């Protein structure tokens, strides 16, 4: 998605995002191809580079279609990771410099622990991931639950 935005005007980002959503949320490869053709028909004349980008990356995109929708949602989620990275960068930038590696690691540790000071975040996290964990367990034949008995 971000690469698609690189080749399009800011005022069209929301519309392009809505148009591409059916492509990457399609249940099958055939459905994704149909949705992509619809996207290309709608946006191909205004942003041919975006269509070309998706065509060139299609071979890397298609393997994700074999996974369950919940797995694809987790694999494509980057907001949580980016949020953690931003908090770590902010903490390190505020400190400026470190006398040794141990001090830097301590700063990173404290920044990560400050993300969930009450300790209740883990319970929320596991609730949001229940459907994905079930899908992973089914897709990978119990390899996730084999060690948790």
Other CB atoms within 10 A of residue 6 CB = 10
The contacts of residue 96 (CB under 8 Å, 6+ apart) are none
Q: Is 2 exposed, middle or buried (0-12, 13-18, 19+ CB in 10 A)?
A: exposed
Other CB atoms within 10 A of residue 123 CB = 9
pLDDT in tens, the chain (149 residues): 778 888 889 999 999 999 998 988 888 889 999 999 999 999 999 999 999 999 998 998 888 788 877 777 776 666 677 778 888 999 999 888 899 999 999 999 888 888 777 767 666 665 667 777 777 777 777 676 655 54
CB 32 within 8 A of CB 65: yes
pTM above 0.95, yes or no: no
């Amino acid at each position: 998605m971000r690469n698609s935005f690189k080749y399009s005007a800011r005022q069209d980002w929301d519309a392009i995002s809505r148009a591409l959503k059916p492509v990457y949320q399609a249940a099958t490869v055939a459905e994704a191809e149909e949705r992509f053709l619809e996207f290309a028909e709608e946006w191909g004349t205004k942003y041919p580079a975006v269509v070309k980008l998706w065509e060139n990356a299609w071979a890397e995109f298609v393997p994700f279609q074999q996974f369950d929708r919940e797995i694809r949602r987790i694999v494509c989620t980057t907001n949580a990771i980016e949020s953690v990275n931003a908090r770590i960068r902010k903490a390190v930038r505020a400190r400026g410099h470190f006398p040794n590696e141990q001090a830097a690691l301590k700063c990173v540790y404290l920044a990560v622990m400050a993300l969930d000071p009450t300790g209740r975040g883990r319970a929320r996290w596991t609730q949001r991931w229940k459907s994905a964990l079930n899908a992973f367990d089914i897709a990978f034949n119990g390899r996730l639950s084999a060690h948790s008995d």
